[in-house]
Amino acid sequence: MVENRTSDQVLRDLLYLACPDAHPVDRKTATDAIDTAVSQGRRLDPAEIPALVNGLLPGPVYGMLDADMTDAGLRGADLAQVNLVGADLSRADLRDANLSGADLTSADLTHADLSRADLDSARLCSALLVGARMAGANLNRADLTDAGLTGADLDGVNLSSADLHNARLHNANLDGAYLRDADLTAADMGTVSLARADAGGANLVGTHLVGAYLVRAELSRARLMGANLTNAVLCAADLTGADLTRAQLFATDLTAADLTGAIGIAPASLSGVRWSSDTNWPDALLHMELLSISEDLGNGLYRVPGPGGARAVNPDRTPFA
């Protein structure tokens, strides 16, 4: 019978399952503490959980492999180095939690709240984070290879040196995110919002950025070889020194963008591109060639011949006059 079981009773059973080889004395100490909380009619403080689990295991790394923690209330919990491979943490409250070094490979964190959580060096390979709230989280050096982050809120997150190879970030919010030196090779970032994000030096080789919003984004020295930037908005973006070799720039908006020192740009790859008199091209020769073939839209705006084209927008997302 499982109906009417409290979260503390479920946790007690999870501890038994996760720690079958623990010494009986240590295991009894942990479960007695949980039973005491139950008898007193109080919820177990998330801060008590790590101490109980640590008492059951011989080393610093503990875990709840494949545990069902749906809707768990773990705000502020210290779960550093925890093994949560395959765990179901969908809709869990993990705000301000310490998950540094945790292994969340293939974990389900769909619609979980990880706002301001510390996930430094955490493993999230193939984890599901669809619709997760992660604003202000620290994911420095985290491994998010093949992770599903569709529609996730990653506003202001720290993803410095993180591995997002093949990650699915379609329609995610990464405004103000710190992605310096991150690996986003072949990631799906279609219609993602990266306004004011810092992706300097990031690896974006073969990345899908169709319709992405990159206003005022920092992309200096970014490797964008073979990236698909069709219909992307890069108004006032910093692309100094970026490598755009074989990048698809069809109908991209480069109004007021800075491409000083960028390489791999050729007029043939700029069909339908919008630009402005204050767009900085890599060299004067390219500037003059584009000026000679572009349609003058007025107000210092130009469009390279070609079908379609995203409507030029100001950095505040309002259309240019």
Interval 213-232: pLDDT, tens: 999 999 999 999 999 999 99
Strand 301-303's sheet: what is its strand order?
274-276, 301-303, 295-298
Domain limits at 16? 1-57
pLDDT mean across residues, the chain: 85
Q: What is the mean pLDDT of residues 176-181?
A: 97
284 or 307, which is more confident: 284
Residue 5 lies in a domain: yes
Please say if the pLDDT value at position 297 is more than 80: yes
Please say if the pLDDT value at position 176 is more than 90: yes
Q: How far apart are CA 200 and CA 228, in angstroms?
A: 18
Percent of the chain whose pLDDT exceeds 70: 75
Residue 76 lies in a domain: no
Q: In 3-state terms, what secondary structure has residue 294?
A: coil
pLDDT of residue 69: 81
Instruction: Return the exposure string of 198-237: e unless at least 16 CB atoms fall within 10 Å of the residue's CB, then b.
Output: bbbbbbbbbbbbbbbbbbbbbbbbbbbbbbbbbbbbbbbb
DSSP string covering 66-134: T-B-TT-B-TT-B-TT-B-TT-B-TT-B-TT-B-TT-B-TT-B-TT-B-TT-B-TT-B-TT-B-TT-B-
**Size of the chain in residues:** 321
CA angle 80, 18, 81 (to 5 degrees): 15
Percent of the chain whose pLDDT exceeds 90: 71
Q: How many Cα atoms are found within 13 Å in the side-chain-facing hemisphere of 248? A: 15
Instruction: Enter the pTM of the model.
Output: 0.77
**pLDDT level of residue 64 (50, 70, 90 thresholds):** low
Residue 177 lies in a domain: no
Residue 317 lies in a domain: no
Q: What is the mean pLDDT of residues 105-124?
A: 98
Tell me how many domains the chain contains. 1
**pLDDT level of residue 105 (50, 70, 90 thresholds):** very high
pLDDT digits (tens, 9 = 90+) for 115-139: 999 999 999 999 999 999 999 999 9
Helix, strand, coil percent content, the chain, rounded in steps of 5 = 15, 15, 70
Residue 138 lies in a domain: no
Please say if the pLDDT value at position 8 is more than 70: no
Q: Which among 220, 107, 59 is positioned nearest to 94, based on CA atoms?
A: 107
Q: How far apart are CA 149 and CA 130, in angstroms?
A: 5
Residue 221 lies in a domain: no
7 or 133, which is more confident: 133
pLDDT of residue 194: 98
Please say if the pLDDT value at position 204 is more than 90: yes
**pLDDT level of residue 41 (50, 70, 90 thresholds):** low
Residue 25 lies in a domain: yes
Residue 40 lies in a domain: yes
**pLDDT level of residue 63 (50, 70, 90 thresholds):** low
pLDDT of residue 60: 37
**pLDDT level of residue 280 (50, 70, 90 thresholds):** very high
What totals of helices (H) and strands (E) does the chain contain, helices first?
Answer: 4, 3
On whether the CB atoms of residues 178 and 198 are closer than 8 A, the answer is yes
Q: Which among 182, 160, 72, 84 is positioned nearest to 124, based on CA atoms?
A: 84
